[in-house]
């Protein structure tokens, strides 16, 4: 049953080896010459100002949380989408579709709520 995954395992090995070998080989062959200020982070030629470990805008957290919400929704929808045709064939298509409508409707209401609250507003 897991036989189709064998080539994927093989491919994981090949790609991971490709990445690791490339990084190591260029590290070895590239040579290193220490020069003052070579290790500074790039800020258009100016001396770096302050730390780069900044606090992040709250918007990005909001996007991440919303993503999880709707991603979980789409996971549930995958199950329905695959079986939609067989539901119809079994004669319960309309019933199941009504249930999906309720489910999606609830999440659409959530989207509208976030929208009205200004959670999707970026230029504030």
Binding site for other proteins (CB under 8 A): 4-8, 10-12, 14-16, 18-20, 22-23, 25-27, 29-33, 38-44, 48, 51-54, 56, 59-60, 63-64, 66-67, 70-71, 74, 77-78, 80-88, 93-94, 96-97, 100-101, 104, 108, 111, 115, 120, 122-123
Q: Which is nearer to other proteins, 11 or 113 (CB)?
A: 11
C-alpha dihedral, 49 to 54 to 57 to 60, nearest 10°: 120
Q: How far, in Å, CA of 92 to CA of 84, rounded?
A: 10
Q: Which is nearer to other proteins, 67 or 113 (CB)?
A: 67
Among candidate residues 103, 116, 118, 117, the one with its CA nearest the CA of residue 69: 103
Q: If you ran DSSP here, which 8-state letter would residue 40 be given?
A: S
């Amino acid at each position: 049953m897991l036989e189709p995954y064998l080539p994927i395992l093989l491919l994981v090995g090949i790609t991971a080896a490709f990445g690791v070998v490339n990084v190591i080989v260029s590290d070895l062959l590239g040579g290193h010459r220490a020069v003052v200020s070579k290790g500074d982070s790039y800020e258009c030629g100016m001396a770096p100002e302050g730390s780069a470990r900044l606090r992040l805008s709250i918007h990005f957290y909001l996007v991440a949380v919303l993503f999880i919400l709707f991603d979980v929704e789409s996971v549930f929808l995958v199950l329905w989408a695959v079986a939609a045709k067989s539901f119809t064939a079994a004669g319960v298509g309309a019933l199941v579709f009504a249930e999906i409508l309720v489910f999606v409707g609830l999440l659409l209401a959530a989207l509208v709520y976030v929208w009205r609250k200004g959670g999707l507003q970026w230029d504030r």
